[in-house]
A and B are shown apart, each in its own frame.
Chain A
């Protein structure tokens, strides 16, 4: 379907209006007034300077600076405008509305608008009558946070001293400084020697300024390995309340195993037979030996009796809970071993392994909490074959025959007994 000529015009006009309307709605008026020749208009660290006004020509020349750096310059006729990039991708537009003489110097009436920027973020928004020399700019403070340790290679259980200092570099003081030092994995906080209690209101900049001590604390290594300490984060603002953030360095600490104690319970499970007939018994011997250098506590071995087998009896140290045998030892001293025996009965034909779960805990002499250990064991495979008399179960006729034979023998014996009983 082709549009007719009138329709095209209407559609074009509608699109233009839509575009203009949307543009107008995104702009925010910043200033609408006069600027005298030689005066500047400051928007944060940006300066718009009207250098020459020609009322007769209806023109005015302008310069735009970011601090002292010239960004753009030009000459505007009345009702002309120009635009330049502002902070954070914002746009500033100035339109020359009129020029006129009056007073000592000529004046220009301008309209300054901005887009894509929140006007609330403008911390300077005014005419500076003294011109550029009268403008003052907010600086960029740079807070250097240093995290230092007294030792970089230690053993488990050793303590390191961590010192955090801060120094402001850049061209502005850091205000309202807040330090955040997260908890450190693999270490425990042993002692805090010094810590700034609240926010630091201001840390001045300049080479002559001493470092600011933030905190001193001691960490105790709990685990062997090489670890990077987490950085201290500082949050602060400049004089214009702009927010900044800095992070410290991350010192590397190597923690060696050292003299950390350990319990190591070895489990040996032996079987007297690997092949039995149904209804025969198997004796298993369990030896628990602590080969470590710390006492093992709450040593517990749960013996998982397979479905096809039945627990019959065991040594005094073996208790049965819910029909499942369990060995429990309060404390197993280093280099000590304990032996237990228990008896199982093969109930069903098949191949079985006896699984067991070992758990114990010990103190490594370093950590406040006991270390918990667990392990699983499996015996060799046990083959359960048919019992000697299982064929009777398979073929009841044998039982009947056996009963008949036994009954016949019984009758015979009874009759003989009666025959000879006097």
Chain B
């Protein structure tokens, strides 16, 4: 049994972590709010979860994560999307934070969930990963959520610097999930965010389950590490769950298609290594079809690890993990982020000069109010 640590940093990380805990109780997205009174998280592995946040309200919103796993880092009510403040807060509370990690025990693998754009998550994660890598010898992977492009210049520049900092922290790999790409889920903003969180939670749980399951064809933690060590250190996850009988090759194709991926990429052009895990009833798992599709993928990306988990009575489900050599979409994001940085810089310089406001107030200089 694997020992796995999952940490959610900041509001986004907290919510994804809560969704993972909710899904782990069974019932998927429709899991009852009262399930915590009669059920427990049913992880295949030994999984410990931790949520860090400077905003206590974000921690209170979590319903399926135990109170002892919700750690408030005292600093008013958040860091206000300011990564510099976030870094200071982390440094001030580093020992307390690391003690929480330490108390959870030793692990085989750790995942850190975070948004790249926010305050606490984007600033804490690089520092936390660095500390974990310094103190422990288990691999640490980050699942980083990219913002909507129209969410504002601060978020865009936070994203750009946060991803860079995470890469430089010694992390063993970054799995990207892009809100911009996933916003086609539709519905209200809340439904869209919840939907994205659920998608990420579902994929991660599938992955954790696959890493610790007896398989017909094995993919294990070593395979995962190998895949994640390839490419540019960036990866994404694709997933497809059939809700009816269908050929397994169709399910695999869907898991590799843009609609199944968390981050927009052309798998056959940008992927470096891949892992495909297939789950379902034996009658759906045609080895020929699986081999054909895997061969087609390996022909483009090089090596593909494949794992098959037999689950009686279940329709086919396919998870694909792909490390990327290049990420066109990420380049575009950085272009936008650079513009945002310039915009913010120019605005700050204008404010420092204060010319406009000085002119405004100078108009009443030497005058007194007349009544």
A419, B64: Cα distance in complex, Å:
10
Within 8 A of A (CB), among B352-370: none
B37 touches A422 (CB 8 A): no
Known A422-B59, A422-B62; judge A417-B70 contact (CB<8 A): no
User: Does B77 have its Cβ within 8 Å of any Cβ on chain A?
Assistant: no
B62 contact set on A, CB distance < 8 A: 422
Task: For the complex, give the distance between the alpha carbons of A422 and B53 in Å.
Answer: 13
Chain B residue, CB-CB nearest to A420: B36
Q: Does A412 contact B (CB under 8 A)?
A: yes
List the B residue with the shortest CB-CB distance to A412. B37
Count residues of chain B with CB under 8 A from any CB of chain A: 12
Contact residues in B for A420 (Cβ distance below 8 Å): 36, 63-67
**B60 on the interface (CB 8 Å rule)?**
yes
B-chain residues with CB within 8 Å of residue A69 when the two chains form the complex: none
Q: What is the CA–CA distance of A93 and B65 in the complex, to the nearest angstrom?
A: 143
Residues of the B chain whose Cβ atoms lie less than 8 Å from the Cβ of A422: 59-60, 62, 67, 70
Within 8 A of A (CB), among B7-63: 36-37, 59-60, 62-63
- A378-420 interface (Cβ within 8 A of B): 412-413, 416-420
Q: Are A413 and B37 in contact (CB under 8 A)?
A: yes
State in angstroms the CA–CA spacing of A421 and B65 once bound together.
Answer: 9
A interface: dominant SS: helix
Name, among B37, B60, B62, the residue most crowded by chain A CB atoms within 10 Å (CB to CB).
Answer: B37
CB <8 Å contact, A416 and B37: yes
Q: How far is the CA of A413 from the CA of B63 in the complex (A)?
A: 15
Name the A residues within 8 Å of B36 (CB-CB). 416, 419-420
Smallest CB-CB separation from A415: which chain B residue? B37
B68 closest partner in A (C-beta): A419
CB distance from A415 to the nearest CB of B (A): 10
Query: How many angstroms between the C-alpha atoms of A422 and B60 in the bound complex?
Result: 6
Q: Are A421 and B37 in contact (CB under 8 A)?
A: no
Q: Chain B residues with Cβ under 8 A from A413's Cβ? A: 37
Q: Smallest distance from the beta carbon of A92 to chain B beta carbons, Å?
A: 128
Residues from chain A with a CB closer than 8 A to the CB of B65 are 420
Closest approach, in angstroms, between the C-beta of A230 and any C-beta of chain B? Answer: 92
Q: Which residues of A contact B70 (CB under 8 A)?
A: 422
Min CB distance B39 to A, Å, is: 10
Q: Smallest CB–CB gap between B50 and chain A, Å?
A: 13
In the bound complex, residues from chain A placing their C-beta under 8 Å from that of B59 are 422
Tell me the A residues contacting B by CB distance below 8 Å: 412-413, 416-422
Of the A-B pairs whose beta carbons lie under 8 Å apart in the complex, a sample of 22, sorted by A's number, is A412-B37, A413-B37, A416-B36, A416-B37, A417-B37, A418-B67, A419-B36, A419-B66, A419-B67, A419-B68, A420-B36, A420-B63, A420-B64, A420-B65, A420-B66, A420-B67, A421-B67, A422-B59, A422-B60, A422-B62, A422-B67, A422-B70
Task: Known A-B contacts: A420-B36, A420-B65. Give 9 more (CB < 8 A).
Answer: A416-B36, A419-B36, A419-B66, A419-B67, A419-B68, A420-B63, A420-B67, A422-B60, A422-B70
Task: Give the top 7 A-B pairs by smallest Cβ distance, nearest first.
Answer: A422-B67, A416-B37, A422-B70, A413-B37, A420-B36, A419-B66, A422-B60
